[in-house]
Amino acid sequence: MASETVALGDLTVNRMGFGAMRVCGPDVWGPPEDRVAAHQVLRRAIELGVNFLDTADSYGPYVDEELIAEALHPYPKGLVIGTKGGLLRPNRHAWDPNGRPGHLRSAVDGSLKRLKLECIDLYQLHAPDPKVPFTESVGALAQMQRAGKIRHLGLSNVSLAQLEEARRIAPIVSVQNRYNLEDRSSDGVLAACEKFGIAFLPWFPLGAGACLKSAKVKKIAARLEASAAQVALAWLLARSKAMLPIPGTASVAHLEENLRAAAIRLSAEDLAALG
């Protein structure tokens, strides 16, 4: 993998991470059909130089964190695991926010246990809960950080105003919002991340597949003898030094293909064509 890195507080990770959500069962619900294959994807990511994994207690729920521990514990030196809490899964189609301090405190303890960690390197609030004052949710996580259970705090699915509000409570090292060639609605948040030295983790970096259908992307890919996914990921890396893509897949072949995107340099002409 190319040697570019990004900081998560005092930790440094390679720029391309791995989004582990896709190794669970269909709809991110329940165990994968083939547990051994899921372990293989996770282990191959590490072999290829990935040292940042993104997960959440709601993936499965719980299954994703369990798979990571099964496949990789005891963890290799330098591996940074970012997990998230604050979403509940009452059924396979629902992702319900719960940002109550009591829930977040028990969620952190649950992730520590499943991941077999004494301290979580990056704990991200998965989404603001409209029923709970945002400052209460962030404050509860800041309290867990002071208790030594969390090393760094991150946010996900936040507005610029929420990022600023959280930064008044505790240092924030990362933001994870939806961002890809087709959806740049978080451009303002990305600019703030660049300004404050915060890593930006674009979820749906391939638009969950949508970016692969773009004619512009396909044309550039054909000329570079690359795949559309590689062009979409190379564009993200070129877009900002704060960018830490976490493409997800359940396939070793796609994983290998996606990681090779770190070596692709798009020309100024290509970047202009992609807008």
Residue 156: which of 136, 181, 131, 138 has the closest Cα?
138
Q: What is the DSSP string of 48-110?
A: TT--EEE--TTTBTTHHHHHHHHHHPSPPTT-EEEEEESEE-SSTT--EE---HHHHHHHHHH
62 is an active site residue:
no
Piece of 44-52, 134-142, 166-174, 197-205 that binds ligand NAP (CB under 6 A) = 197-205
Minimum CB separation of residue 40 from ligand NAP in Å reads 13
Segment 154 to 183, residues that bind ligand NAP, using CB under 6 A: 156-157, 176
The residue within the footprint of ligand NAP, chosen from 212, 224, 238, 271 (CB under 6 A), is 212
The residue within the footprint of ligand NAP, chosen from 248, 259, 264, 266 (CB under 6 A), is 248
Measured CA to CA, the distance from residue 99 to residue 131 in angstroms comes to 8
Rule CB under 6 A: say whether 258 interacts with ligand NAP: yes
Cα→Cα distances 70→19, 151, 222, Å: 17, 22, 39
The residue within the footprint of ligand NAP, chosen from 229, 237, 259, 266 (CB under 6 A), is 229
Per rule CB under 6 A, count of chain residues that contact ligand NAP? 27
Q: What is the maximum alpha-carbon separation in the chain? A: 54
Measured CA to CA, the distance from residue 173 to residue 188 in angstroms comes to 17
| Positions in the binding site for ligand NAP (CB under 6 A) | 19-22, 54, 156-157, 176, 203-209, 212, 227, 229, 246-251, 254, 257-258
**Where in the sequence numbering do the catalytic residues fall?**
59
